[in-house]
Amino acid sequence: MDPRKELEKAVEKTISKIERYEAIAGPIAPDNAIGRVSRMDAINNKSVVDAALRKAKERLAGLKRHLDLLGRPEFGLCSKCKSEIPFERILLAPESSFCVTCAP
């Protein structure tokens, strides 16, 4: 397995996810256009999409940070205990720079 390829694949996937979220997280139509109840729905859905969007952006930033560190001795090491973080965990939770034990 080539870690650079895996990280780049994950970056691409995350970017297309962000684009999808941003497309549906557009402005909510005014009250009279869609009615009160569906407006509430729209607001609820929007906060779900906003949360997902925020998470995807954190993920993207994390993936890029790992890519920057690739090839350096500190790549894949926990920021706290300096033990090696399994690559599967890096792909799963790239926004974290801690191992499972040190993760807050």
**Which positions lie near Zn ion, rule CB under 5 A?**
78, 80-81, 99, 102
Rounded least distance, CB 67 to Zn ion, Å: 21
Q: How many residues does the chain have?
A: 104
Q: Which is nearer to Zn ion, 63 or 99 (CB)?
A: 99
Q: Which is nearer to Zn ion, 32 or 101 (CB)?
A: 101
Q: Give backbone dihedrals phi and psi of 84, rounded to 5 degrees, phi first.
A: -75, 130
Alpha-carbon span 24 to 84, nearest angstrom? 38
> Would you say the C-alpha torsion 86, 67, 15, 45 has a positive or negative sign?
positive
Rounded least distance, CB 63 to Zn ion, Å: 19
Rounded least distance, CB 78 to Zn ion, Å: 3
Q: Which is nearer to Zn ion, 29 or 81 (CB)?
A: 81
Structure tokens at 34: 């869609």
Alpha-carbon span 36 to 58, nearest angstrom? 33
Q: Which is nearer to Zn ion, 9 or 65 (CB)?
A: 65
Q: Quick one: how far is CA 15 from the chain centroid?
A: 9
Rounded least distance, CB 93 to Zn ion, Å: 13
